């Protein structure tokens, strides 16, 4: 049976200063953070992503750190993710082929909140990878043919490849979700729902929405069923 780890990604109020939106029907817009390291090649900008979100003029031409990479998203080719920070790379590197990496983002509530959405902002699952190989923890040791699958990853495009872990998702089991799956309660973005408190190994105390969330084998199947079915009522205890 597989296990899973969910990590925080995407635009936030620190980088680049705003969040992506989540709409009353559950649709959302994934917005990456800006690239902060020198790149070895030309990178797409926020303007290149053709976003519906009104991106501030001072960042429209900023290069983006397009990670995770979802094949169906503008400027992407495959399902890859890299990370150079131990707090995320550590738990991700413990996964294996067939396990799942999930991605969540803090999103701003747009319009009148749905009855499952936190009023101002919340944390939401936005994407999933089913890993098609064990995590890569030594990019330099990869054969050239294996490096190719990561060629469009943001960490590989940096002047110095700095990823402590690289993930590759199976195209048949990976996707950017059509509808966001809430991790926050209905009443406040900072309050977790049962996906965090009952299914993950996290306590749900403090800034849980910044931490990796681990899901062991017995509960991963339930988590994936919630994600695939889109039955958001199952995210809540009441």
* pLDDT over threshold 80, residue 238: no
Residue 108: the pLDDT is 97
Residue 142: the pLDDT is 96
* pLDDT over threshold 80, residue 13: yes
> For 134-144, how does the pLDDT look when each residue is reduced to its tens digit (9 = 90+)?
999 999 999 99
* pLDDT over threshold 80, residue 207: yes
> For 96-107, how does the pLDDT look when each residue is reduced to its tens digit (9 = 90+)?
999 999 999 999
> For 152-201, how does the pLDDT look when each residue is reduced to its tens digit (9 = 90+)?
999 999 999 999 999 999 999 999 999 999 999 999 999 999 999 999 99
- Average pLDDT of the chain? 96
> For 117-128, how does the pLDDT look when each residue is reduced to its tens digit (9 = 90+)?
999 999 999 999
| Confidence band for 237, pLDDT divided at 50, 70 and 90 | confident
| Confidence band for 1, pLDDT divided at 50, 70 and 90 | confident
**53, exposed or middle or buried, with CB in 10 Å at 0-12, 13-18, 19+?**
middle
Q: Work out the average pLDDT over 70-97.
A: 97
Distance CA 125, CA 145 (A): 32
> For 180-189, how does the pLDDT look when each residue is reduced to its tens digit (9 = 90+)?
999 999 999 9
Q: What percent of the chain is modeled with pLDDT above 70? A: 100
| Confidence band for 230, pLDDT divided at 50, 70 and 90 | confident
Higher pLDDT among residues 111 and 195, named by residue: 195
* pLDDT over threshold 70, residue 109: yes
* pLDDT over threshold 70, residue 5: yes
Distance CA 5, CA 95 (A): 8
The full set of domain ranges for the chain reads 4-235
């Amino acid at each position: 049976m597989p296990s899973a780890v969910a990590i925080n990604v995407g635009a936030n109020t620190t980088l680049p200063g705003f969040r992506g939106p989540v709409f009353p029907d559950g649709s959302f817009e994934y917005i990456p953070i800006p690239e902060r390291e020198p790149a070895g090649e030309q990178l797409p900008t926020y303007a290149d992503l053709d976003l519906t979100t009104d991106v501030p003029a001072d960042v429209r031409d900023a290069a983006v750190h397009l990670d995770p990479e979802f094949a169906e998203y503008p400027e992407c080719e495959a399902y890859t993710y890299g990370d150079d920070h131990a707090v995320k790379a550590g738990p991700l590197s413990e996964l294996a082929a067939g396990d799942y990496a999930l991605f969540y983002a803090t999103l701003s509530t747009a319009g009148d909140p749905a009855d499952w959405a936190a009023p101002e902002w919340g944390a939401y699952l936005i994407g999933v990878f089913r890993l098609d190989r064990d995590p890569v923890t030594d990019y330099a040791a990869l054969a050239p043919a294996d490096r190719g699958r990561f060629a469009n990853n943001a960490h590989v495009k940096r002047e110095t490849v700095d990823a402590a872990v690289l993930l590759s998702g199976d195209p048949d089991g990976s996707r950017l979700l059509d509808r966001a799956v809430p991790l926050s309660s209905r009443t406040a973005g900072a309050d977790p729902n049962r996906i965090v408190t009952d299914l993950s190994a996290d306590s749900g105390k403090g800034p849980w929405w910044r931490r990796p969330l681990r899901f062991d084998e017995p509960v991963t199947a339930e988590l994936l069923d919630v994600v695939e079915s889109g039955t958001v009522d199952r995210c809540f205890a009441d």
